[in-house]
Amino acid sequence: MREKGEVIIITEEAIEIKGSLPRHEIVRKIVNTFIDTESQQRGKGVKFHYPVENLSSINRPLFIFRPGGLNKWNFDFKVEVPEELGLGRGSHGEIEVDLRNKKQENEQKFRKLLQAITEVYECSENDVDRLLEKYPDLQTSFQTGAKVEILLKVVKWMFIMEDIVYWNYQGRAMLYSALKEV
């Protein structure tokens, strides 16, 4: 039996979203993963961590965790963005600042970065590592802020989170619109 206020963190199997899965299939896969893995170990004080991306530039995984907070008890999650990744705590505003700085540093390469973000947004390529192969010079195009690999992988999972939390509304479109306006 758990002590009052005790938190148990359970690290689950990795969740991979690759290729060109449509948005509704991505949501279905993530929600079904949550249902299948969490149905036997739930309750107050239980948190689940899922590795979702390998961050090869810093040799560690990117995690999402649930519940995501905000006093929501649905299928929400939060992308775990430690400050050493260069995106602050990973808020929308901090990502916008990072993109704005990259745009000021190199506007021509920023347009390529925005193309890569658009491909993730449109789900035409959900594998960021493949996108980085398609845009090989992006990794070295910016000296400011987060590494491009980290930025793209965090934004990918923020898009997915927005789709799940705001399924009947704009989902990822709201975040994407803000990023495009940078």
Say if CB 117 and CB 173 are below 8 A apart: no
Query: What pLDDT, on a 0 to 100 scale, did the predictor assign at position 152?
Result: 97
What CA–CA distance (Å, rounded) separates 74 from 156?
20
Query: What pLDDT, on a 0 to 100 scale, did the predictor assign at position 15?
Result: 96
Query: What pLDDT, on a 0 to 100 scale, did the predictor assign at position 117?
Result: 97
Whether 164 is in a domain gets the answer: yes
Quote the percentage of the chain above a pLDDT of 90.
69
What CA–CA distance (Å, rounded) separates 31 from 64?
13
The total number of structural domains that make up the chain: 1
What CA–CA distance (Å, rounded) separates 56 from 74?
31
Q: Both tokens of residue 49?
A: 């961590």
Q: 40-80 pLDDT, tens per residue?
A: 887 777 889 999 999 998 889 999 998 876 655 678 899 99
Whether 82 is in a domain gets the answer: yes
Q: Domain residues for 91?
A: 8-180
Measure Cα distances from 121 to 36, 89, 125, 126 in Å.
Answer: 27, 21, 9, 9
Query: Across residues 87-92, what is the average pLDDT?
Result: 90
Q: Could you tell me where the DSSP H helices lie in 106-165?
A: 107-121, 128-134, 148-165
Whether 1 is in a domain gets the answer: no
Is residue 1 scored above 70 in pLDDT?
no
Whether 150 is in a domain gets the answer: yes
Whether 51 is in a domain gets the answer: yes
Q: In what order do the strands lie in the sheet with 46-55?
A: 8-11, 46-55, 60-66, 78-80
